[in-house]
């Protein structure tokens, strides 16, 4: 592993932090306060990439000599966004709507060099097909995992995996919120090698 510049993860997510730890890199975290509202007629992949860049760039004035990693995820079900449900009732309703259907998760990733503004952005797509779930199964899951602040209303890194029929994508980490395979490639552009 080689790194000559300090890394910042532009996120307060404990899930993203744990994923980045897998790479054995030294980094700090900071949360970027940005407006995450999609632009009119913006495709989900574009939204995820734009917000990833904005999160990283927003921290550049605070960390002017760093590589800043930004990531954002947009989840869609039948053309409608899957959000962080926020409550037990909303989570149950969202999972009931997803039962037996396929949702698409677009996870943007950005590496931003705050010394000069150079950056690279990419996006991972993951399709998740939910099992046909009974109300009882959904309630049991929600009460055990309490995924109220998770996009889609589940924790794929936990019991949420039991909700799925299949996952189709290049990187299972992307569903949790940080596409490590793409991140490794982006970091290499800036001279940071994991192995």
**Each residue's pLDDT expressed in tens, for the chain with a length of 195 residues:** 555 689 999 999 898 999 999 999 999 999 998 999 999 999 999 999 999 999 999 999 999 999 999 999 999 999 999 988 999 999 999 999 999 999 999 999 999 999 999 999 999 999 999 999 999 999 999 999 999 988 889 998 899 999 999 999 999 899 999 999 999 999 999 999 999
- 10 Å CB burial of residue 83 (0-12, 13-18, 19+) is middle
CATH number at residue 53: 3.90.950.10
Per the DSSP assignment, residues forming a β-bridge with 128 are: 103, 167
Asked if residue 66 belongs to a domain, the reply is: yes
* Catalytic residue from among 28, 35, 41, 72: 72
d(CA 42, CA 102): 21
Asked if residue 155 belongs to a domain, the reply is: yes
DSSP assignment letter at 37: P
Neighbours of 129 (CB within 10 A): 15
Q: Name the residue range of residue 100's domain.
A: 6-189
Asked if residue 195 belongs to a domain, the reply is: no
Asked if residue 194 belongs to a domain, the reply is: no
Task: State yes or no: is 72 an active-site residue.
Answer: yes
d(CA 115, CA 34): 21
Q: How many domains does the chain have?
A: 1
Q: What is the pTM of this model?
A: 0.93
Cα angle, residue 126 at apex, residues 122 and 130 outer, rounded to 5°: 160
* 102-113 vs 66-77, strand pairing mode: antiparallel
The answer to whether 123 and 108 are in contact (CB under 8 A) is: yes
Per the DSSP assignment, residues forming a β-bridge with 102 are: 129
């Amino acid at each position: 592993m080689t790194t000559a510049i300090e890394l910042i993860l532009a996120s307060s997510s404990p899930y993203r932090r744990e994923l980045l730890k897998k790479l054995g890199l030294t980094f700090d975290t900071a949360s970027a306060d940005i407006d995450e509202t999609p632009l009119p007629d913006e495709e989900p992949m574009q939204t995820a990439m734009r917000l990833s860049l904005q999160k990283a760039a927003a921290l550049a004035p605070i960390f002017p000599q760093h590589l800043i990693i930004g990531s954002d995820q947009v989840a869609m079900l039948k053309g409608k966004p899957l959000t962080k449900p926020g409550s037990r009732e909303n989570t149950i309703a969202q999972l009931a709507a997803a039962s037996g259907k396929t949702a698409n998760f677009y996870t943007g990733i950005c590496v931003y060099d705050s010394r000069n503004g150079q950056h690279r952005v990419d996006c991972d797509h993951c399709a998740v097909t939910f099992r046909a779930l009974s109300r009882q199964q959904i309630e049991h899951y929600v009460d055990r995992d309490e995924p109220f602040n998770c996009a889609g209303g589940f924790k794929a890194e936990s019991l949420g995996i039991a909700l799925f029929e299949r996952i189709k994508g290049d990187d299972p980490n992307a569903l949790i919120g940080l596409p490590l395979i793409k991140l490794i490639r982006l970091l290499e552009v800036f001279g940071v090698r994991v192995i």
